[in-house]
Structure 1
Amino acid sequence: MKIKMLIAIFLLLSSTLFADGYNPTTLVVPPFKHTFGYSRITRSSLKMVAGDKIKFNNPQGIAAVKLRALDDKSTKKDDDELTVFAVNSGDHEIFYNKGYKWFGTYGGFGSGEGKLWNPMGICANPLGDIWVADTKNDRVVKLYCDSMNLEFVKSVGEYGLFDGEFDAPSDIAMDPKGRVYVADTGNDRIQVFSKDGEFLFSFSGTADFHLIKPTAIDVIGKIERWSFYNEGFIVVVDDNRTRVVQFTMDGKPLSSISTYGLGIENARLGYIAIDYYNNIYVTDENNSQIHIFDRKLKFITSFGREGTGSAEFYHPRGITIWKRFGQVFVLGKNEAQYYWIGVDAYVKGVFPAIFTEERPGVTISLFITQPAHINVKIFTKEKGELVRTLVPKLKRDIGEENIVWDGLNNDGTLVPPGKYEIKVTLRPTYSSKGSFEKKMTCYAERQ
């Protein structure tokens, strides 16, 4: 079987741009040399690769990691080659890739060792520690991956409401120290365990703020290796999958945001992932989108729509991000997709659009969805002659950015009357850096 067929377990054929101009680029399809032309896998392509061994049946959580056991220390060329673990809840199993050549499964219906019952969330670390929220067994299960096989280590918990007991746990996450955080859905709380599964503490909010049936969780620690800000926090989805809540590492509420408050109708929030810049990504199964927030839980943008093309999803559930390279895997109802983190932006306006000698200059107002290096050049509209290089590779953060052109050319004199074309180029700071750039054009006039 060809290698490009083998690697397609989590990848799908890159699609073309849309005739309606839809082309969001907060996430972008990796280049051909990285994916062999594949960035999505569907039911039919999965069957071509894995035969009847693996079928999409209520897929849920997903985790991607660079296992140390598979890391060739003599080269960096394999550093982006990940092992991806996906929960196939309807078949009570986990499926995963063994390098680029083989696939494995673990589980099957049951409650004994090596068995699962409608598992939901999953997390993994480079040491090979894998934790699964074994939902209908009211427990969490620790596994170990030796690079090729998943092995049972232990199970923790049983049905109940006391410390270390669960009622339908839905999701699970690990911090850099190996501590385990469990969304104990039926008990309206988060439980925290040591790396060996010993109960540490739980939290459910405060007297004024309560968790309501938490269904998803992710965490980033202060000592996270691949984190720009080196700050720690916990993010939870709760309240009938309509609210995102941020907590400190010891369970104190920081902020919350509701889909109702954002005006997002019919939302059904799924799973959570956090990137290198601590931005928060939450899937929305009903709207076939990913909602993205900054590290303070301020809404940035919604990415995607329902469909089968690029930047389109079919009821996305699980999401995971390998922070080092910004590799994003999204697991949908009957598909899996692979993206890199890019950058998107739009021009809010040029103010004023017309300037004079008495009042020279304009402000170019942009909104940016990812940190980016920005370059702005001014050209005459009629002849396309460069008159000013305004912002040479200046790094700007997420959100609104206002860039001032004083109306002068590169020689420091006021440009003559006429129309001017403002070309803005944004380049990602990592992930798709070097393989993608976003270009926009706006206009100003000097009278």
Structure 2
Amino acid sequence: MATKPSRSGLLKLAEEQLTCPVCLDHYINPKTLPCLHSFCQHCLEGLPLDKNNETYYLFCPTCRHRTELPENGAGAFPVAFTINNLKDMHSLIKKTPNSQEAVTPICTDHGRPLEFFCGTCDAVICSHCSVRNHKHHECELITDSYTKHCQKLRECLSPVVGKKEVLKKVISSLSERESEIRERGEGVLEEIHKMVEEIMSTLYQSGRKLTGQARRVTDAKLKVLSVQIKAAEKSLSLLEDVEDYVELSLKTGTPQQVLRSKKQMMEHMSEVTAQINVEELYPNEKADFVLSNNIKSIHHIGDIVTYSSTALQQCRVKRVGSFQRFPKKKTFLFSLSMEAPDSSLLSVPVSSLRCSLVPVVHTIPEINCPWGVAASDNHVTVTEFNGKCVTILDRKGKKVQSLEGGGNVKFSVPRGLAITTDKFILLSDKDKIQKIDMNGYYIASVGERGTESLQFQFPAGSANGQFMFPLGIALDSQGLVYVADCNNHRIQKFSPDGNFLAQFGTKTFGAGKLNSPYGIAIDTVGTGLVYVSEWGNHRISVFTSEGEFVTKFGKEGNNIDQFKNPKGLTFDKNGFLYICDSGNDRLVVY
């Protein structure tokens, strides 16, 4: 059993514990907060409050724990009995300096010593209380059970002590990491200083470049965070506006008005909450950039090596190769070659690379029902079905030239087209194939309506190697031929000499199915994947060269990643995908 502290020890303990940490004076009417810290009632009443809706909160001056203020104010917090006991002990010891005996408290109801403890009610009682009000309760003498209860409290205190030790280690670890970061930062600054001092006379311009690079990294990160903050504030404002409107409607509107507007308000609330992705608003940037020095070249003294999502987004994918798909694991395996902007060094974990098959670049509007598209050098050529012309665009989408036919060149229903290696345009136009130069002058044509050699007409058939309104055609890197068999809702695959090899696709709306495929293109520079435009499903479906479904994107509409009856599509030498969004009169570039 533990020995009782000496009189001087008790007096010292009491004096240390009787000072309020707010007013620094002896406690007056002390109250205990849920975090177990105690303060004078009037000190608590003087603390600033934080209001949330209709509830007020205060923060503990010691640990900053947020506590709800009772409806009756700070006076409703529990009395700090430990402080009051210390005050009584302090007064008693000072009045009776030679007394070593403890004074037993008296029951206010019966005037007898409080010698019993009721375990049922968790209360200290006298002998009369134990007989009258606690007759069948678990009562025991305090002198017999106090040690047991103290032991129980110490057992309950064990997890607290254990967690306290863990937190001490955590704080120590955080302090060590803080010191490491500060030392690393100071070390980097010192490295920069020494390096610049050594070669200042010849590398002053490079030093300014390095400083500018560091500032650009900082500004880029701050810019990203600024955009995120504005987006988050905008989303918050939007939610608050919706909430205010609904609350005002409920408070001021009649039942009939509220019920009439109920559906509209619920749809709007669902729409607003659905369009806000909270995950995208968490911080994308970190303060994790360091100096990587290189003094081998007098023209380049170093780089700030950093992880930056902004710089990562600006990287250019040079090549994607070794593409493999594992359907059971729902994963892909490929090699990736990237080029960072400004030749800067970018250090990123692999987990930060998020690959998307359909990153939208831009759209080129005001094209009258585009049907076929082909890319060559720095130009993109498009057939405008309703405009009965061929339009040549530059890489930025600006119209360079419009070929409307002249002399012995007439366009009836221009559809598919291709650019030859010697820069001539081949154009499918009704029953013939026309060859013209880049200025629209006639070179040659073949075909007429019919079923004989070099005659064209809608063939009909659903067997392998037969077609029902064939439209798009593409060649892969091995020379294999892929044909979009539109009215059979499939893609047929042939050898270079025309022998049927395989087919894939059936008419339906599900993933991996096809509904009126019009255009087809193969990413021969990168992945080797087959892209098919579905006129009936208003989307683009992607397959492997063996016909295995990979993904799809798009739906009916005129917004980003939406199409209306897409037709021709093609890849350029840089891997950009051009899609004729015919129903929206635009060319979409991915």
Greater RCO, 1 or 2 (C-alpha within 8 Å, sep 6+):
1
Give me the TM-score of the superposition, normalised by structure 2.
Answer: 0.37
Higher strand share: 1
Higher helix share: 2
Larger Rg: 2
Give me the TM-score of the superposition, normalised by structure 1.
Answer: 0.48
